[in-house]
Structure 1
Amino acid sequence: MKTTILGGICLLAFFAMIYSCQSDASIEYSRYYSAGAIVYQNHCQNCHGDKGQGLNGLIPPLTDTALLKSYNSKLACQLKNGLSGKITVGGKEFEGTMAATDLSPIDMAQVITYVTNSFGNKQGLFTDDQVQTALNSCSK
């Protein structure tokens, strides 16, 4: 009995040490990513799917890492202003309209962090400062 309690305390101490060793950047990334998952579920999942797979030939998937990297600085503008016209994703053409959103810059940063680090993508943290910079350079 004492061994079980002592083992449990040691295990708890071990996990506490591991958690306390996380860097501020790692904690910040985790905060953005987990909040972004909620924003995605509420605003994006209905069209882009629960796994970012898109909708047949109508709505593009969010699984093309190269495309997301090339659009990285444009993603905030696309969220704010919407997107229309032809887009090629994974060798397939999509033509339609993505409606503009009324997301705040922090919500945009969180959902961009989530999308660019989910569905096979690994691009790191996208902060609200980066969103603000991107929004300042939007062409609309």
Structure 2
Amino acid sequence: MKLKLIGTLILLVGVIVTSCQSDQEMEFNRYYTAGSLVYQQHCQNCHGDKGQGLQSLIPPLTDSTYLKNNKAKLACIVKNGLEGKVTINGRLFDDQMQGDDLTPLEIAKVLTYISNSYGNKLGTMNLEQVQSDLKNCK
């Protein structure tokens, strides 16, 4: 009986905590969780399970400075790829990243995941922001 009561209390506390989340927190959690799956399916093979990249061939995703300074370009990079030199964590990479045929919503989710994992803390990249950024791709 005591275990049932404790279990019920834990469940009740969990429901209360979840219901106390703001709309922004819930949106972030939805994007982040779904973005993890998109990352595993489309990005992890090259960038690694911890965003570590591959030696001097594929850059890591652990440089929040690069992500922050290029936030408006990230959707275009995911969609269209990247060619040419890029410096990440002080290391030069000069290879080609292929674009991926993800929807704008999938891009928003994976960018939310990447920009809030591996030491990065840049907040939610929502669908509206990604759609706007994609219109400005060069």
1:67 maps to which residue? 66
Q: Does 1:32 align with 2:38?
A: no
Structure-1 residue corresponding to 2:47: 48
Aligned-residue offset at 1:118: 0.3
- How many percent identity over aligned positions? 52
The equivalent of 2:56 in structure 1 is 57
- Give ranges in structure 2 of 5+ residues lacking alignment: none
Larger mean CA deviation between 6-15 and 16-25 belongs to: 6-15
Aligned residues: 138
Letter of the structure 2 residue corresponding to residue 46 of structure 1: N
In the alignment, residue 26 of structure 1 is paired with which amino acid?
A: E
TM-score where L is the length of structure 2: 0.96
1:63-112 CA-partner distances (Å, limit 9, x unpaired): 00101001100001111111011111111100000001110000000000
> How far apart, in 1, do the equivalents of 2:92 and 2:66 lie?
13
Return 5+ residue gaps in structure 1 as ranges.
none
Runs of 4+ in 1 over 3 A off after TM superposition: none
**RMSD (Å), alpha carbons:** 1.0
Shift of 1:18: 1.1
* Cα offset, 1:44, TM superposition: 0.5
- Opposite residue 31 of structure 1, the aligned amino acid is R
CA offsets 1:1-46 (integer angstroms, 9 cap, x no match): 3x33333322222221111111111111111001100110111101
Matches of residues 1-140 of structure 1 in structure 2 within 5 Å? Answer: 1=1, 3-139=2-138
- Mean CA deviation greater in 16-25 or 57-66: 16-25
Inter-partner Cα distance in structure 2 for 1:102 and 1:11? 42
Residues in 1 aligned to 2:87 and 2:6: alpha-carbon distance in whole angstroms: 55
Secondary structure of 1:103's aligned partner: coil
Amino acid at match of 1:21: C
3-state SS of 2:73 partner = helix
The one-letter code of the counterpart of 1:30 is N
Cα distance in 2 for partners of 1:77, 1:31 equals: 22
